[in-house]
Each structure stands twice: as structure tokens, then as C-alpha cells.
Chains A and B, each alone.
Chain A
Amino acid sequence: MANYGPDQVALLLYGGYDLTIGIITTLTDKQEAILERTNGLGAAWEAHAYTGVRKAEFELEGFYDDATGSIHEALGSPPGSASGPRVWCLGVEGTATGADFVGYTGALQPTYERLAVRDELTKIKAGFKGTGEVRQGRIVRMLSSATASGASTGTPLDNSASNTSGGVGFLQVTDFSGWGAGGAVTVSLVHSADNITYANLLTFASATAEHRGYSQAVTGAIQRYVAANWTASGATGNIRFFAGLART
């Protein structure tokens, strides 16, 4: 049995922004099924049925912070910004490879409030609605920096078994700098049945800037072991990224 406390909420990535840079004090993640009443004439008890559609929403509260890359820069654009839905990854179970996280393939931010109160620091409150799939996944590579091509095959995600129904990969790039003109980093998820020979599972769109989130679906078999692989082109630079996988 494992309970978790506030110190283990270490994964809050929204469109490539690391919201743990700021001070978040409360977060709520909710998924809901849309139901419809189905009892008709002659029935003595109310009955309901699942319509086949789920919805997801997310809220967070914290201290207003206008530092570079912090909460206001990430969330302060007017709600309904033309930038469209962003990939959300959040986790309440720590940062270890294999820890659970929730991945929204797209989230829109309809509300952003700033709350200024006498005798208190200014606070913020933001609400998000999922658009598209929300998946339960596991961390493949926790948010960390890399300055050259590499792979996490030395510490892969071990699922104990393979699955045959595919899944969705998530990538969040919070920092990208110094790679020179035209520089890019291509991140892939690779898989293996024996943790010796790895093959490509899926490839994300090449990262060419910071503050980007990506999700990529894959069909078919996913082997037991999964790791991240990244290939840099251009001059040496720095990329800080997170990769996760949600199996179906």
C-alpha cells in the first residue's frame, strides 16, 4: 500500500512549461463518464447507462509568479488562446522511472484568475478541460537535461510483460538552447523484449524550441522494456525533456 504526499507531486508539465518552477499549492485532476437515464415506462427503478464518452478536467491553485518560464508566462495568455490545446502531463507519485502519470493529449485552459487580497501574496487559479484522450501512463525518462545524443536504455521502464494493443507516447521539452541555427533534437521511444536489443517504437516530431509538448500514438506490440533515445543535430546545446508512455 502506498500513499503519497505533496513532496511527491513533482511532475506538472503543460505545453513544455514546468509548473513546479512556481509554487502550486493545490491541484485536482478529475475524469468523468457521461451517463444518460435509460429507464422507461414500466420500470420501477431508475436506470442509467454509459454513453461511451468520458471527459477530463484539471484545476490548480498557487502563488502568482511572473519569473521567466514560470506560472504567469505559461498560463497568463488570455483563455482560449489561438495556440490551441496543449499536452499536459502530471504525476503525484514521485519521479522514479515507472512511476504513474496522467497524460492529456490535449488540454484547453478556459480560465485564469489572479487573486489579490490585502495582507496576502497574490494568488492564481487556473482551470483546464481535456480535449481528446486522457491516458494513464508511466514515466520512461523523468525531466532532466541532455547536452548530446544519448539513450536511457541503461535504466529502462520495465513493464514486466509486453502488450499488443499499442499506446501513446508523451514528450515535454521545457528547455532547448545553444544548438545553433537549424539545430534539432529528435526524441524516440525504443523497446526491447530482452533489454539487450532495442528497436524503434515511435518517433516524436523533432524538437527545435523550448516549451513544446507532444503526444504520439502507436499501434501493435510494445515490448516489455521501453527507453528514450535522442539524436541531436547541429552544434552542442542543451535540451531538458520528459518522456512517458501510456500502454493501451
Chain B
Amino acid sequence: MANYGMADFVFQMSRSSATAASSATGLLPLTGYITEIDGVVLESILVDSHAFGDSWAEALYTGIRKLNPFKIAGFYDDVAASGPHALLGQATDVGAERYFEMGFGASDVINGRLLVKSYRRHAMRDDLTRYETEFQPTGAMGTATNP
């Protein structure tokens, strides 16, 4: 049994619209620019199946799975070519498709395609400017060992 922490977390994505690691033009690590990530949830779509006469709720799997939309956030950084603003903040990045890999430990990696749904910059008093991006996963997700 092994526990893992923030030092083990890895997040990287393609710069171009690639559908698999083998065709990605170099996966770029974003790990160092992320200070927050909300829950990454793999979910199955269920439907209630209990009928008249049943006294307990029942459910059935519809055969559809999804990875729920998730957000990453951190300090806004305009470093060229590899930082969050360069990868996610240009006008054509919002709506674009990317390939991503996300690892939480030695043998727990989820990968697949996602769409960049939104990019947000937030400037406030007494703090550095921050960014937040929401991703919409699309299509089949895979699992692998640590990237």
C-alpha cells in the first residue's frame, strides 16, 4: 500500500490538436504551474430502474461513462511556449482539442482528449494575478502507468 501527495502529481498536455500520445507533437508539462485542481471524477451514467411494486430504488448502468469537467488553477504566467498563458490563453486555444495525461502516483495515470472550455484571469489586491482553466473531457479515457 502506498500513499501519494502533491510531489507525485503530474499533468501534461499536447500543444497541438492530437488524439493520442503517439501523435502528440511533444507533451508539455503543466505540473509546475498548477496550484489547484478540483476533483477528477470518472462517472458512469445510470438510470433509475425501480418500478411499481418495488420498495427500494434500483439503478442500471446505461453503458456510458464520462470524465467530468475539471479545472486547474495557478499563478498567471506568460512564459513563452510552455506556460499556462501560452498553452491555454490565446484566442484560438479556447475551444481547441488537446491530448492530456494526468498521474497521481506510480501506476495511476488517466489519459485521453479534452476541450479547453474556458480560460480565466483573476487580478486582485494583495495577491499575484491567477489563472483558471476549465476542461471538458471528450471521448474514451484510458489508464496507464506513470508518464
A4 close to B66 (CB less than 8 A):
no
B95 close to A33 (CB less than 8 A):
yes
**Chain A contacts for B122, CB-based, 8 A:** 26-29
Instruction: Determine the main DSSP class of B at the interface with A.
Output: strand
A92 close to B124 (CB less than 8 A):
no
**Chain A contacts for B79, CB-based, 8 A:** 1-2
A47 in contact with B77 given A9-B129, A33-B95 (CB within 8 Å): no
A50 close to B96 (CB less than 8 A):
yes
Contact with A along B118-145 (1 / 0, CB 8 A): 1111111111110000101111110000
| CB proximity of A99 to chain B, nearest CB, Å | 9
**Chain B contacts for A47, CB-based, 8 A:** 138-139
Which residue of A is nearest B33, CB measured?
A1
Which residue of B is nearest A8, CB measured?
B129
| Stretch from B4-12, B86-94, B101-109 that touches the partner | B86-94
Report how far A50 CA is from B114 CA in the complex, Å. 11
**Chain A contacts for B96, CB-based, 8 A:** 50
Task: Say which size band chain A's interface belongs to.
Answer: 35 or more
Q: Cβ of B65 < 8 Å from any Cβ of A?
A: yes
Q: Cβ of A48 < 8 Å from any Cβ of B?
A: yes
B119 close to A30 (CB less than 8 A):
yes
| Stretch from A37-45, A66-74, A141-149, A200-208 that touches the partner | A37-45
Q: Cβ of A194 < 8 Å from any Cβ of B?
A: no
Report how far A6 CA is from B123 CA in the complex, Å. 6
B115 close to A33 (CB less than 8 A):
yes
**Chain A contacts for B39, CB-based, 8 A:** none
| CB proximity of A3 to chain B, nearest CB, Å | 5
A48 in contact with B128 given A9-B123, A35-B136, A43-B64 (CB within 8 Å): no
Going nearest first, the 8 A-B pairs with the smallest beta carbon separation are A33-B95, A46-B66, A32-B118, A50-B95, A30-B120, A48-B138, A1-B79, A45-B140
Using a CB–CB cutoff of 8 Å, the interface residues on chain B facing chain A are 45, 63-66, 75-79, 83, 89-91, 94-97, 115-129, 134, 136-141
Using a CB–CB cutoff of 8 Å, the interface residues on chain A facing chain B are 1-6, 8-9, 25-35, 38-39, 43-50, 52, 54, 92-93, 100, 134-136
